[in-house]
Amino acid sequence: MTRRRTALTFWLFVGPFALGLLAFTYVPIVWSAYLSFFDARDTVTPTEFVGVANYLDVLTDRAFLDSIGTFTVFAAFIIPTTVALSLTLALLVNQIRVARAFFRSVYFLPFACSYVVASLVWKMSLFSGVDSGVANTVLGWFGGESQAWIGTVDPPLYWVVLITARLWLQLGFYMILFLAALQRIPEHLYEAAWIDGAAPGWQTFRHITLPGLRGALIAVLTLNLINAYQAFDEFYNILGDSRGYPPFARPPLVYLYYTSLGSGGQDLGRGSAGAIVLALVIALATLLSGRLLRRAN
């Protein structure tokens, strides 16, 4: 086959995808970088160059900094929790002999549910502020007083709502990842350890299971990290209302949404600058966590 023929065939296969990637990923990124240096209020074809003013704006905007800060803390909390709980689930499911497929399905089922539907259940029923809400009913059994879960800012009870919703939605997915990794660990390693006199339990877990899960752990950590900064759906639907979004627990994406598209000003220059800063923050966090992980190994 001639070189030209090969090139033609290659582009026949890859071309349509490559064009799309160019149009809907590369062009937007470049355009966004361009917009971030202009006063692009209410327009996508701005003419007024403003240098780094948009960057200075977002980097001195308390709302934006708060959103980055809050979600760094959020990531620091949700990642270990998710890893610990989904790994526990995977170990449990892996150990039971009867009805294993059933329980695996039950834990995995929330993956099919959208964040919007989960937000509805959490907001209007599980953590509704009225006495008949599920959480308040349970509190009532123990003689506790009803709480306005989402409405209570001090202490920030709304985090209980947001975090339980996210855990419910994502634990099953990560459990499947861990389960697959667990099943890839060769049985003979456990047998050898047993022969060597390693006690079943913590010792085998520490020396056989955990090293075998290394790849899955890295995948779970990275995905979780990126997802923590990209949180939007349940935050918007649980805390947002017909008048907008309160100033707390505001994810970077909610900030970007209101800044560039919502009632917050239609400021695409500022929104683009914010998007680029966010991309850098995520890249940096991913890099740092990778470094830490490697050192821990």
Determine what percent of the chain falls in helix, strand and coil, rounding each to the nearest 5: 75, 0, 25
Binding window for other proteins (CB under 8 A); candidates: 30-38, 68-76, 187-195, 203-211: 30-38
159 binds other proteins (CB under 8 A): no
297 binds other proteins (CB under 8 A): no
Residues in Cβ contact with 49 at an 8 Å cutoff, skipping those fewer than 6 apart: 37, 38
Query: Closest CB to other proteins among 208 and 276?
Result: 276
Q: Where are the beta strands (DSSP E) in the chain?
A: none
CA 228 to chain centroid: 3
118 binds other proteins (CB under 8 A): yes
160 binds other proteins (CB under 8 A): no
117 binds other proteins (CB under 8 A): yes
In degrees and rounded to multiples of 5, residue 183 shows phi and psi of -75, -15
CB of 271 to other proteins, least distance (A): 5
49 binds other proteins (CB under 8 A): yes
- Residues of this chain, 174-233, that bind other proteins according to CB under 8 A: 174, 176-177, 179-180, 216, 219, 223-224, 226-227, 229-230, 232-233
Reported as half-sphere exposure (CB side, CA atoms, 13 A), residue 144 has a value of: 12
Binding letters toward other proteins, positions 54-83, x by CB under 8 A: --------xx--------------------
Between CA 212 and CA 193 the distance in angstroms is: 14
CB of 208 to other proteins, least distance (A): 19
Please report, in angstroms and rounded to a whole number, the separation of the first and last CA atoms in the chain: 48
